[in-house]
Amino acid sequence: MVKSNTGASLLGQHVAMPQTPEEAELDRVPNPHVGTNYVARFTAPEFTSLCPVTGQPDFAHIVIDYVPGDWLVESKSLKLYLSAFRNHGAFHEDCTIRIAKDLAELLQPKWLRIGGYWYPRGGMPIDVFWQTGEPPKGAWIPDQGVPPYRGRG
């Protein structure tokens, strides 16, 4: 993953879909409300990656919440980064935690959490959760809104 600190380098131009997460560029832009604790949420209900054993597609509903510090993630770059996992073979846990750690490193947020709600593989759903620590006092942290697996759809 290439990180851009200049911000918005992908906006306003045609960009080819990166083939791997390593080729993807995540952009960050300045937070216009530094000092205010608020939650920004990104939801990717059609996230896909490849099973590293069978090569078959895996599907997940990914929810990313963070309380920004000095930086925001630029949404087009995040969309392209997440799409790059379509050709990436990795276990559910690896994909989920990699996304979280890449964003935490890029943004240095006050707080970040990710919920990876994976559809069944071999008859068993695997959900993966991670966060950087305790959320800041006074920040409203809503439920991620994804129910336990019962034939999600």
The reply to whether 94 belongs to the active site is: no
Given a contact cutoff of 8 angstroms between Cβ atoms, the answer to whether 65 and 113 are in contact is: yes
Active-site annotation holder among 27, 58, 65, 95: 58
**CB-count exposure of residue 75 (10 Å: 0-12, 13-18, 19+):** middle
Dihedral of CA atoms 74, 117, 120, 45 in degrees, nearest 10, equals -40
Given a contact cutoff of 8 angstroms between Cβ atoms, the answer to whether 15 and 88 are in contact is: no
The reply to whether 51 belongs to the active site is: yes
Active-site annotation holder among 51, 94, 102, 127: 51
Q: Which residues are catalytic?
A: 51, 58
